[in-house]
Amino acid sequence: MAMGKSMRETFRSLSAAEFFYRNREIAGFSNPSRALYQTVRELVENALDACDSHEILPSLYIGIKLVNPQKSFYKVTVSDNGIGIPPHYVPYAFGKVLFGSKYKLRQTRGMFGLGAKMAILYGQLTTGKPVEVETTPLGSRYRYYFKIMVDIKRNEPIILERKMRRLKKKSHGTAISVVVEGDWSRAKNKIYEYIKRTAIAIPYASITFVPPDSSEATVYKRVTNKMPPPPKEVKPHPHGIDIEMLKMLISVTEASTLKEFLAESFQGVGPITAEKFLRDIGFDPNMSPHSLTAKGIKALTSELKKYNGFKPPRADALSPLGEDLIIAGLKRVLNPEFVTAVTRKPSAYLGHPFIVEVGIAYGGKIPSTEEPQLYRFANKIPLLYDEKADVSWKIVSNAIDWKAYGAEFPAPLVIFVHICSTKVPYKGVGKESIADVPEIEKEIKNAIREAARKLRTYIFRKRKEEELKKKTIVYVKYIPEIASSLAVLSKPSNTEINGGGLTVKELEKMLLNLVREKLQKLGASINVESLRRSIKIR
Ligand code: ADP
Ligand code: MG
């Protein structure tokens, strides 16, 4: 009896909320500095998701306020003009771990109904303060206000306060405030960098940031109204399946035969392919999917993963930025002298579609550094930590001979790498660096080379022009002298030498025209007039 009781206690299962709180460093809440950064990140990503997937041009406000200087409590507020949240759903969205609207196969920033809740749980446990949510769903005329805490043991929301008011004007969107124990002075650089890189990736967003230590806001104004196409929902590809997923698909299917089940539940599998595949691997195509044994499910999973007769995974679930937006984003934030971008065709690894995009920005306001400045993004989220462990760093620092492309270090060179996928292959649990998946590595390499070739063309043309300019300066400097010597020769007594009778001015003009013609033939864009003026000033 006593034994039974203690057994029950020992094996009490953790609630999902408790489990994640105990493992908070996995989700990026390991210390006050990282936690402050992560809180901003989670709220910003939710705000952008609420706009992006519904084709609303985002306007974001991000504010951090020091609310308790003795204890270093910071209030982080992020407000957006997204689709809002239906009021009955608010307590669960913010008070129940693993509750979310993104359990679908398509590219979003959030995924598992976890992010914001980690910030809320962390805040609750370090400061004892509830989360405040204000929201107006699309089409509603009400602003709903909630104060919520999480009952960690039960993984259920506790509503402390709830209000609503009618709005005079139509609007939509959400504002969320979380109070967390933070360390602004240590998180500051990362938070500014995160916002800057978000501004690069999302040039169609307006972002205002008000930091705790200055009343001066950082503002990034929207520079384009173009948005990437929103991702579509897709069925899983057989190569990306695992046993649990197959069980789940079987449990919800209404198909009466195995072949029907495959054709309906997966992409890339038609009825004919399904029948052929099942016969090839010795399964009866007409058996009921519900009569599969555990062993059968295991065997089917491994056959699905390796069969080569399916169509490759589709990329409609992805939402790449596209070359124009990458260029617009790099320009708005970095003011480079040269910028280019490449969006590769969709590709796949292990049944997961992905697209690699690369941008290169060079010169202008970009400071020169000893190493390339790498800006990494996964599904439009900037990745700031663990750079040296990332596959992109390996390529940028080792596989590319930048000198051959005209960039000699120290150089003002920024490389933007974006990977979008329904499953980004992160290295480890921190989700800050991407693993060396050969298919992805190859795409990144090719994309960087393609963009770097354009950089080379630009740099080499520029160098040539500079040489030509130096030469032109020499000619232009001596033209007046040459002209007056020629004029002496062209006095009436010397008419046979130069055709006769030209003045210094006329000779100068002739010679300048010769220089101009020559430059034009070389395709150089050097303005001889302004060169002359600049020489005269000196
Ligand atoms: P995830 O983003 O991984 O789904 P979160 O805990 O971050 O999980 O958010 C839970 C859910 O709350 C989201 O799936 C979304 O439905 C909703 N949500 C959170 N923030 C917003 C927001 N700013 N606007 C609209 N919906 C939101
Ligand atoms: Mg989220």
pLDDT in tens, 365-423: 999 999 999 999 999 999 999 999 999 999 999 999 999 999 999 999 999 999 999 89
- Would you say residue 4 has pLDDT above 60? no
- Report the pLDDT averaged over residues 155-165: 94
How far is residue 374's CA from residue 380's CA, in Å, rounded to a whole number? Answer: 15
Is 46 touching ligand 1 by the criterion CB < 6 Å? yes
- Report the pLDDT averaged over residues 175-179: 98
Residue 501: both structure tokens together: 């009778």
- Would you say residue 125 has pLDDT above 70? yes
Instruction: Identify the pLDDT of residue 15.
Output: 65
Contact 349/440 with Cβ under 8 angstroms?
yes
Q: What is the DSSP letter of 188?
A: H
**Nearest residue (CA) to ligand 1, atom 23:** 47
- Would you say residue 112 has pLDDT above 80? no
How far is residue 348's CA from residue 351's CA, in Å, rounded to a whole number? Answer: 6
- Report the pLDDT averaged over residues 438-463: 96
Distance 139 CA to ligand 1 centre (A): 19
**Nearest residue (CA) to ligand 1, atom 1:** 113
Atom of ligand 1 nearest to the CA of 174: 23
How far is residue 356's CA from residue 448's CA, in Å, rounded to a whole number? Answer: 10
Domains of the chain: 16-220 (3.30.565.10), 238-306 (1.10.8.50), 323-449 (3.30.230.10), 459-534 (no CATH)
Q: Which residue has the higher pLDDT, 340 or 517?
A: 340
Distance 213 CA to ligand 2 centre (A): 27
Is 80 touching ligand 1 by the criterion CB < 6 Å? yes
How far is residue 195's CA from residue 443's CA, in Å, rounded to a whole number? Answer: 27
Mutate to test the pocket of ligand 1, among 43, 46, 172, 379 (most ligand atoms within 8 A of CB): 46
Instruction: Identify the pLDDT of residue 482.
Output: 84
Q: Which residue has the higher pLDDT, 105 or 400?
A: 400
Distance 479 CA to ligand 1 centre (A): 71
Is 134 touching ligand 1 by the criterion CB < 6 Å? no
- Report the pLDDT averaged over residues 115-140: 92
Is 111 touching ligand 1 by the criterion CB < 6 Å? yes
Is 110 touching ligand 1 by the criterion CB < 6 Å? yes
Is 238 touching ligand 1 by the criterion CB < 6 Å? no
Instruction: Identify the pLDDT of residue 231.
Output: 84
Closest to 359 measured CA to CA, from 345, 370, 374: 374
Question: What is residue 306's three-state secondary structure?
Answer: helix
Is 100 touching ligand 1 by the criterion CB < 6 Å? yes
- Report the pLDDT averaged over residues 336-363: 95
Instruction: Identify the pLDDT of residue 524.
Output: 80
Atom of ligand 1 nearest to the CA of 100: 14
- pLDDT one-digit tens code per residue, 249-302: 998 889 999 999 999 999 989 999 999 999 999 999 999 999 999 999 999 999
Which residue intervals of 424-522 are DSSP H helices? Answer: 438-489, 495-498, 504-521
Instruction: Identify the pLDDT of residue 475.
Output: 84
Atom of ligand 1 nearest to the CA of 45: 2
Is 58 touching ligand 1 by the criterion CB < 6 Å? no
- pLDDT one-digit tens code per residue, 490-509: 665 555 555 557 788 888 88
Instruction: Identify the pLDDT of residue 100.
Output: 61
User: Where residue 68 falls among pLDDT bands split at 50, 70, 90?
Assistant: very high
Contact 143/136 with Cβ under 8 angstroms?
yes
- Would you say residue 425 has pLDDT above 70? yes
Instruction: Identify the pLDDT of residue 520.
Output: 86
Give the burial class of 329: count Cβ atoms within 10 A of its Cβ; 0-12 exposed, 13-18 middle, 19 or more buried.
buried
Distance 1 CA to ligand 1 centre (A): 45
**Nearest residue (CA) to ligand 1, atom 13:** 100
As a whole-number percent, the residues of the chain with pLDDT over 70 amount to 89
Closest to 483 measured CA to CA, from 502, 463, 461: 502
Is 137 touching ligand 1 by the criterion CB < 6 Å? no
- Report the pLDDT averaged over residues 25-52: 89
Distance 183 CA to ligand 1 centre (A): 25
Is 75 touching ligand 1 by the criterion CB < 6 Å? no
Which of 215-229, 289-303, 308-322 shows the lowest mean pLDDT across its residues? 308-322
Instruction: Identify the pLDDT of residue 323.
Output: 97
Instruction: Identify the pLDDT of residue 71.
Output: 96
Mean of per-residue pLDDT scores for the chain: 89
User: Where residue 489 falls among pLDDT bands split at 50, 70, 90?
Assistant: confident
Instruction: Identify the pLDDT of residue 99.
Output: 62
Mutate to test the pocket of ligand 1, among 39, 45, 49, 120 (most ligand atoms within 8 A of CB): 49
Is 38 touching ligand 1 by the criterion CB < 6 Å? no
Contact 355/343 with Cβ under 8 angstroms?
yes
Distance 490 CA to ligand 2 centre (A): 83
- Report the pLDDT averaged over residues 355-370: 97
**Nearest residue (CA) to ligand 1, atom 4:** 113
How far is residue 128's CA from residue 237's CA, in Å, rounded to a whole number? Answer: 44
Closest to 185 measured CA to CA, from 37, 290, 350: 37
- Report the pLDDT averaged over residues 49-72: 95
Residue 79: both structure tokens together: 């407000």
Instruction: Identify the pLDDT of residue 367.
Output: 97
Contact 115/106 with Cβ under 8 angstroms?
no
Q: Please identify which residue in the block is written with the tokens 């595949």.
A: 277
Distance 27 CA to ligand 1 centre (A): 16
Contact 220/329 with Cβ under 8 angstroms?
no
Distance 157 CA to ligand 1 centre (A): 15
Q: Which residue has the higher pLDDT, 297 or 12?
A: 297
Q: Which residue has the higher pLDDT, 27 or 45?
A: 45
Q: Which residue has the higher pLDDT, 499 or 163?
A: 163
**Nearest residue (CA) to ligand 1, atom 8:** 113
b/e for 481-501, b at 16 or more Cβ within 10 A?
eebeebbeebeeeeeeeeeee
Instruction: Identify the pLDDT of residue 8.
Output: 46
Is 113 touching ligand 1 by the criterion CB < 6 Å? yes
How far is residue 36's CA from residue 122's CA, in Å, rounded to a whole number? Answer: 10
